[in-house]
Amino acid sequence: MSARRYSAGYSLPVSRPAVSLPSSRPVRAALAAIALVLTAGLAGCATGLDAQTTTYYNAPAGIDVRTGDVKGLNMLVVADEAGSATLVAALLNTADEEDELVAVTATDPDSGEQLTVTGLESPVPLPPDQLVQLIDDTLESGPVGVSSETLEPGQVLQIDLQFARAGAVSAEVPVLAHEGDYAEVPIPEPEPGAEEPEPGAEEPGADEPGADEPAG
């Protein structure tokens, strides 16, 4: 069965609050581009978190989800050519009490492969009525990285978010290329690992004269 692919143009209902940007210049540039997507199509329409309009996008856009009092806005994954990627999403807690994002998983919905998820070293706090961008470099948890040898732009991934109070939500989100509006999205570096010796490789010093002779 062929892998599911993402089509850039589609009709998407959007509900967008304002976006605040952190201090880091590259991340500010990335969030500014994402903010344009978040606010697109609202001109001339009603305002507020529950106001909606349907706009046809020629440029890629993310997916919106909701569980309990938490909304996930413009969810998408930005990937480079090496199979490393970053989860991009704006989270909005509409409850009166603080919530937290405590876990993220990523799965290929076609093959069932569980992708490696990094970052989220600590829960992401979600104060009431504040938009939290997961790529904000001021978050202690760090960005949420996703990686796989088979990951590439154009795919669709199933992303599962687990919140402390609002529960869990699942969405199939597009994987976009690390270019254009998303060129400044930070992509985590692959975690260094110990290199496995090639099959048949000899231990250092094995060919040295007298290496196997007892000392005497």
Q: What's the pLDDT tens digit per position in 118-160?
A: 999 899 999 999 999 999 988 888 899 999 999 999 999 999 9
Looking at the structure of the chain, the number of domains it has is: 1
Asked whether residue 52 is assigned to any structural domain, the reply reads yes
pLDDT in tens, 32-53: 445 444 544 334 333 344 444 3
Task: Supply the pLDDT for residue 141.
Answer: 86
pTM to 2 decimals? 0.66
Range of the domain at 117: 10-182
CATH code (residue 107): 2.60.40.1890
State how beta strands 156-163 and 99-107 pair. Answer: antiparallel
Tell me how many degrees the CA angle 115-71-84 measures, rounded to the nearest 5.
25
**Does residue 177 belong to any structural domain of this protein?**
yes
Q: What is the signed CA dihedral for 37, 38, 43, 48, rounded to 10 degrees?
A: 170
Read off the pLDDT of each residue in 173-188 and give the average, rounded to a whole number: 94
Cβ neighbours for 69, distance < 8 A, ≥ 6 positions apart: 93, 94, 95, 99, 165, 166
Please name which of 8, 11, 20, 48 lies closest in space to residue 138, comparing C-alpha atoms.
20
Window from 10-14, 62-66, 68-72, 75-79 with minimum mean pLDDT = 10-14
Mean per-residue pLDDT, 101-108:
98
The answer to whether residue 209 is domain-embedded is: no
In a domain, 69, yes or no: yes
In a domain, 57, yes or no: yes
155 is a domain residue:
yes
**Predicted pLDDT at 48:** 42
pLDDT of residue 137: 86
In a domain, 208, yes or no: no
- 58 vs 108 pLDDT, higher one: 108
Question: Quick check: is 1 in a domain?
Answer: no
